[in-house]
Amino acid sequence: MSAKGIRVTGAIAVFFMLTLSAMTMEAKTKVTEASFGKMPDGTPVDIYTLNDGKIEARITTYGARIVSIDAPDRNGKKADIVLGFDSLEGYLGNEPYFGAIVGRYGNRIAKGKFTLDGKTYSLPINDGPNTLHGGRKGFDKVVWKGKQIPNGVELTYLSKDGEQGFPGNLTSTVRYTLVGDDLKIEYSATTDKDTVLNLTNHSYFNLAGQGSGDILQHVMQINASHFTPVDATLIPTGEIAPVEGTPFDFRTPHVIGERINADNQQIHRAHGYDDNWVLDHPAGKLSVAAIAYEPNSGRTLEVLTTQPGVQFYTGNFLDGTLKGIDGKVYNRRGAFCLETQHYPDSPNHPSFPTTELKPGQQYHQVTIFRFGTRAK
């Protein structure tokens, strides 16, 4: 065989080896399913474990929620970095949306009312004078239908017309897939009547490990030049305010605890950070919204999203009364949330990006939690 023939044959062999390697990498995540208990009415609840050899995430059909995420530190030691409970019973009590998909409308709607197509809709009031995260029985408190898909799990829920006051039969699908360092959340939905929709994941992160003290020494960066100030009931005033010169400027990395007790009206109202940042990236483009870093472990969390906003919340209302996985106590500011979203109360603010969904339209948003480490 000529040298040229040998080179061609070798190139073909390399091509097939690379193709096989890529296929192996794409489908290497092991997905298993198990029982997670039963609801009081007997409805079974399942839990899916996604394990790619480095990261392990557990997802339950109750609330389509993340129960745990095991991730390595800079030395390879793994820890669970989200707050959660060992069993279904913990989630059935009065808990603050740990790991859940919240909807139909994540975040707040003022006074539980909005007008659509000339009709005013009334929702349950469950947060002071407002509606929070879809009402008293939002998507976090229902059992979704789950099935295994390559590298993950697909969860589907039909919210019927009038549920919690929202119009339209809405079919929502959430896909969690784990590939490499990325836990991807893909949201899609359709409706048979004009409605509003704002889905997000409400995981509480502590990159030192759940129950490992507060997150005040974590370093945070948020790629946003503006935020939406709120009134005394945490409803946006409608203003899009610059972060420059305020404790809300995280365009460069800052330690979370550095300004969390600043003499600032917005800080006082939320007892820390609990605000919506207006992301700088173009609408609908998957881009980095925020990066968190925990210096002792070296763990990092990068959040990418197609959404226009992110709610940064610092666990201000955790009070030590909840005990989570392995009996860990969840104290005040023991975790942070980065809830990718449309803005709070958008149905009552025409100047905000719309959250309306009409028949024939396809709601589609993507968020990625990317895990990594840094050297000291």
User: Hey, what are 191's tokens?
Assistant: 């409706």
Residue bearing tokens 């991807």: 184
Instruction: Determine if the peptide bond prior to 104 is cis (ω within 30°).
Output: yes
Q: Would you call 226 a catalytic residue per the annotation?
A: no
Query: In angstroms, what CA-CA distances link 345 with 13, 123, 178, 259, 270?
Result: 57, 13, 32, 26, 16
Q: Give Cβ neighbours of residue 276 (< 8 Å, ≥ 6 apart).
A: 107, 227, 228, 236, 309, 310, 311, 341, 343, 344
User: Hey, what are 196's tokens?
Assistant: 């509003």
Dihedral, CA of residue 182, residue 208, residue 291 and residue 373, to nearest 10? -60
Long-range (24+ apart) CB contacts under 8 A made by 317-323 are: 317/96, 317/271, 318/96, 322/95
Residue 290 and residue 294: Cα distance in Å, rounded? 14
Q: Would you call 202 a catalytic residue per the annotation?
A: yes
DSSP alpha helix (H) spans, 27-139: 88-91
Q: Give Cβ neighbours of residue 122 (< 8 Å, ≥ 6 apart).
A: 112, 113, 165
Find the catalytic residue in 133, 302, 339, 342: 339
Terminal CA-CA length for the chain: 54
Residue 4 and residue 43: Cα distance in Å, rounded? 66
| 194 neighbors 168 (Cβ within 8 angstroms) | yes
Find the catalytic residue in 202, 218, 226, 342: 202
Residue 171 and residue 145: Cα distance in Å, rounded? 11
Q: Give Cβ neighbours of residue 76 (< 8 Å, ≥ 6 apart).
A: none
Residue 31 and residue 2: Cα distance in Å, rounded? 48
**Catalytic site positions:** 202, 339
